[in-house]
Amino acid sequence: GAVVSQHPSRVICKSGTSVKIECRSLDFQATTMFWYRQFPKQSLMLMATSNEGSKATYEQGVEKDKFLINHASLTLSTLTVTSAHPEDSSFYICSARNGEETQYFGPGTRLLVL
Amino acid sequence: QKEVEQNSGPLSVPEGAIASLNCTYSDRGSQSFFWYRQYSGKSPELIMFIYSNGDKEDGRFTAQLNKASQYVSLLIRDSQPSDSATYLCAVNSGGSNYKLTFGKGTLLTVNP
């Protein structure tokens, strides 16, 4: 139980394009989903918290207009990186909470912006 | 600023030994604590969580919590080379969404 998937697992795009990443909870309804970013050899950095049907809450320093989050259902949240630039290249990981305190992580999406 | 501190390591232990990973946190009001394992290039996976002072055992893993000292640890008995990974300590920062604050992780290497 508590399986979270992400798609795509890897994406390469040109600078200036937008990229959408999907996060799904496969066997439970996710009360809350979280989006993290991790640069090489660094820790997880929380970007935003989203609840189904509500606007996402962004962490300080994260541009909400650049990182659009949609949490349309209890099993799906999407992160869109708009007008991506090379400095946005990173490992993006979502997690989902099933109503308890524990977060279960997706496998991550590796984004490379050329 | 709520902080979670871990020794970055690397911590190197021989196969079969006990690995001890430590974590301290700054927010005295924290209520729940998590250990995640992250292999290189992969996302974190939950090992165990602990809410109450004392020890909690799950197979080869034991989590220890001392709220008075604001200290959490993870013991791995009979360490195996497959345990080699970065171990992340996470603390519930509170609030209705149960955000987690992560430490930077300790790199553990188990030598055959």
- pLDDT, tens digit, for every residue of B33-62? 999 999 999 999 999 999 999 999 999 999
pLDDT surpassing 80 at residue B94: no
Vertex A99 angle, CA A55 and B71, to 5°: 100
Task: Flag whether residue A52 sits within 8 Å of chain B, measured between CB atoms.
Answer: no
Contacts of A47 in chain B (CB under 8 A): none
**Residue A99 clears pLDDT 80, i.e. is over it:** no
Kindly list the residues from chain A whose CB atom is less than 8 angstroms away from the CB atom of residue B99: 34, 46, 49
Record: contact B98-A105, CB cut-off 8 A = no
Say yes or no to pLDDT of B14 above 90: yes
The reply to whether B2 touches chain A by the CB within 8 Å rule is no
Q: Return the pLDDT at A9.
A: 97
Mean pLDDT of chain B: 93
Taking chain A, what is the end-to-end CA distance rounded to the nearest angstrom? 37
CB pairs under 8 A between A and B: 46
pLDDT at B29: 87
Please report where in the chains the tokens 């188990």 appear, as a residue: B110
**For residues A82 and A97, what is the distance between their CA atoms, to the nearest angstrom?**
26
Q: Residues of B with CB below 8 A from A93's CB?
A: 43-44
Nearest to A104 among B46, B88, B92 (CB): B46
Say yes or no for a CB contact (<8 Å) between B97 and A97: yes
- What percentage of chain A reaches a pLDDT higher than 90? 80
pLDDT of residue B33: 95
Is residue A1 predicted with pLDDT exceeding 80?
A: no
Q: What part of B 9-48 touches A (C-beta under 8 Å)?
A: 32, 34, 36, 42-46
Q: Could you please report the per-residue DSSP string of B64-102?
A: EEETTTTEEEEEESS--GGG-EEEEEEEE--TTTT-EEE
Query: A85 CA to chain B: closest CA distance, Å?
Result: 22
- CA atoms lying within 13 Å on the CB side of residue A75: 8
Contact check, Cβ <8 Å, A34/B36: no
**What's the pLDDT at A100?**
79
